[in-house]
A and B are shown apart, each in its own frame.
Chain A
Amino acid sequence: MTVPARGIKQETIAALVPAWMRSNTALLLFLPTVIFLVLFLLVPYVNMLVMSFRTPSTSAVFAPGFTTDNYTKALTDLYYFGVLFKTVVFGMVTTAICLLIGYPVAYHLARTKSRFKGLLYVGILSPLLVGVVIRCYGWIILLANNGLINDTLIKAGLIETHLPLMYNNFGIGVGLVHVFLPFMILPILGSIQSIDPALEEAAQSLGASRAKTMFKVVLPLSLPGIQSGAILVFVLTISAYVIPILLGSFQEVIMPTLVIQLLIDAFLWPFGAALAFILSLTGAAVVIAFLKITNRYMMKEG
């Protein structure tokens, strides 16, 4: 308990606090966070939702009156559907690749007793300290037509003309995986660390090879970490703006790029808002479906 101020008894201070405050301390402690979230998350969100039903106008943010035209256009025009589909596919593929690369790294980091464990941590976390723009420029240096990779391959005589590694889906993919990998590794790492290593030894003592141990014991038990990592990477990917802008092309856009284009270039705020909202809903739907499927797998295993 805190030491009361000199000369003032604790009972006196307590008496100054109204009864209704004392009995609702938990609620009151919540309040600042709730206010923050409502102000900076909920209000803009609702604002955007309302915006998406307004009539678009090129001379002002919006014209008077409400309409559902924005949604009709977004959902019926194949072009927008295509962009949405591409965005979601990017999300899934990036998540899958991050999972394939990230899981072994997380497992190794969780189980290794090497002295260089700290270095590996630093290697995974330090890129997060560097801004995403700088990291993308790093990739440009490597992936450009006259970049390091192409240069080396051409000089080594392995290829004749440069490989198109950038300003296309491949470039975007590389950037996305590179930047979001730590977000996959860290939750999985936490999950695996909470698994008693004796469980793996027990499985081996019962006749399971290391591979079988991995699939029958470690993977099912680290599923919560995989879920967290996958959701994080997926959501980050479908809303990624900077990476596709820097490493992608303007001919083939994904949803966030399109939304910004509509907002800033075309100044069609209601329509942009509608697309943004559709992206949110689609993302949420995918995440919920993912959780449902993986939870059933968890239950099935026992």
Chain B
Amino acid sequence: MTQLTISGLAKRFGDVAAIDNLNLEIKEGELISLLGPSGCGKTTTLRCIAGFEQPDEGQIMFDNKDIIGLAPERRNIGMVFQSYALFPHMTVRQNLNFGLEMRSIGGAEAEERIGRAIDAVQLTGMTDRYPQQLSGGQQQRVALARALVIEPSILLLDEPLANLDAKLREEMRFFIKSLQKRVGITTVYVTHDQGEAMVISDRIVVMFNGVIAQMGDPTTIYSRPASKKVAGFIGQSNFIDGTCKGQDDASHYTIETSLGDIICLSGDERAQGERVTIVVRPEVIKLEAEKPDADRMNSLPGKVEDRFSLGNFAGYKVACADGSVFLVQEEPWTEFGVGDHIWCSFAADKTWLIQA
């Protein structure tokens, strides 16, 4: 169980800062995801941890040891690559044995470890096959087993599920998560797929342009996004701009907007007159034919512009008074038609306030 601490990490490619003053502490046994769009620096960070890139500044500590300057083969890491990188001229067994051979682990112990790893990824009986003879999902599991069989201090995964089809990807998320929990290894997982990050992580680190935008558990990241960019990247959002009118109580504020006054929840102190943005998630909005009368509910009149079925949700596009269009996710059996006049209501506690 190793603790991973990154402090002041910076890496530039020419004029562009791929990583800019990154600070991150990962607890023992934790699985954190580096999540962000292409070019945000997540892969560069992972490669710095692995030792395939040298940062320009900063420290990376495995427990209390700064490993910058240490060659990758001396860092005792296990890594799973997007292309799996299985050795094509070796069988599954030989692939798994490679790391053990490098550590001079042989004989009975090697046999035992390989056996356990193969069973853990449910590929018993496939040890004499070559990678080309396995399906994508099976190759992925071999890559996992190969990284874990050497019992490294840190497990690094670089978009390992990107090459799999959607259904398999969903299954493998849970598989990787349960495997990681069983083994208890500190893990850094890089992905651009937010659904994946949400399912698998203890904590998500959202990155844009080499900087951490927000760090936290999946629920917090989703329901309490720190900025418009984070809210826009994770899930769907409706944004309403406005100015702060007044504070209602410890955490609720009234915001003046072009759609009327809206009460919402805020994590930070807001000053009167401050320009702010309100985030309302589509599934939080309820559509009613009549204006609901409830405490701490925001209700806005609107007209249905479009209705579409998402299977487990009914999706609506509702045009509001000032022309802006809301995306609403309602229960699948609601049947408001295009052109209907309805009320969008959302609880103040589920309406989140962020900086403009």
Contacts and interface: CB of A to CB of B under 8 A. Distances in A.
Interface residues of B, number: 31
B98 A206 contact: yes
Interface of B: 50-52, 71-74, 76-79, 81-83, 85-91, 94, 98-99, 102-103, 130, 146-147, 150, 156
A208 B73 contact: yes
A202 B85 contact: yes
Interface in A177-227: 196, 198-199, 201-209, 212, 216-217, 220-221
A301 interface: yes
Given A206-B102, A206-B146, A207-B150, A220 B73 contact: no
A62 B136 CA distance: 67
B67 to A, nearest CB: 13
A207 B103 contact: yes
Given A196-B83, A202-B79, A208 B89 contact: no
Given A220-B89, A221-B88, A298-B89, A205 B83 contact: no
A302 interface: yes
Contacts of B150: 206-207
Contact of A206 (B51, B71, B82, B99): B99
Nearest to A301: B89
A199 B87 contact: yes
A221 B132 CA distance: 14
Contact of A204 (B73, B86, B90, B156): B73
Interface residues of A, number: 20
Given A198-B81, A198-B83, A208 B102 contact: yes
Contacts of B73: 204-209
A302 B94 contact: yes
Contacts of B147: 205-206
Contacts of A221: 88-89
B52 A201 contact: yes
A209 B90 CA distance: 18
A34 to B, nearest CB: 34
Contact of A205 (B72, B82, B90, B103): B72
Cβ-closest 7 pairs across A and B: A207-B102, A206-B99, A202-B85, A205-B79, A198-B85, A302-B90, A204-B72
A199 B90 contact: no
Contact of A202 (B76, B81, B103, B130): B81
A108 B51 CA distance: 20
A220 B83 CA distance: 20
Contacts of A201: 50, 52, 72, 79, 81, 85
